[in-house]
Amino acid sequence: MLINKVNLEKELISERKKFKSQIAILEEVKEIFEKNELDRNKIKQALQEKSSTKINQLKFDLLETDKIFHLEQIKKICIDYRFRFLDSSIFKNEIPEEAISKITELEKKHDTKLEGFKIVAPSKAFLLENYDDPLLFIPIGNDYFYLIHQWGNDMNSLRKWIVKPIKNIGSFVLFSILISFILTLIVPETTLSKDEPMASLIVFLFIFKSIIAVSAYYFFMMGKNFNSEIWQRKYYNN
């Protein structure tokens, strides 16, 4: 006895015809797409607006613990890697659609509209006013922030060490002392007076003073500052 095989796709099409006309279904789907697009455009607009001081009210039971960070933890990362923590409104690069999707999902899950978006990224990623991997946050109160999305390539692990000398004034002085000591050691003995026991110390102090002077001049002329001073500043020269 032969058993006829059932084509499930054809069965579904048959059931669909009983449900609604093809035109009505297409109109309904089109309306859904248009609403989704409208919602996504509202989120993109919110990302471009200046952050408010309003706290986002999220449902506590739905929060992911590993995405909650205190301002002090964000500050530490920004200072270590020379990043800035600023409003998404001055972020000049494009925010990926994946991030928009995560915001949409979060809004539906918590039944709220999110605002006050903040981004952690290098200075060059922002349109800084005159006076490598972004992280998108929203404030949830009491200096706590909720991480929504991270994008971009993995950051170079050397970045932390490259910017370490300008982490703060203490790091800069220690770095200057270390470089001065190394340079003093490689100064040829023939240039030092054998009759002067303090010759090496004098050379060290001279090199140290020169490094401090040149670095200070560069900082003032180029409008630079230490990581600990700029992590929340929206000005490139202050």
Quick: pLDDT tens for 114-169.
888 888 888 777 765 444 567 888 788 777 888 888 877 666 677 778 788 788 88
**Least confident span in 6-10, 14-18, 59-63, 174-178:** 6-10
Please tell me the pTM assigned to this model: 0.59
Is 212's pLDDT higher than 80?
A: yes
Annotated domain spans of the chain: 7-158, 163-230
**What token pair was written down for 156?**
């170079």
Is residue 3 classed exposed, middle or buried when 0-12, 13-18 and 19+ CB atoms within 10 A define those classes?
exposed
pLDDT at 194: 56
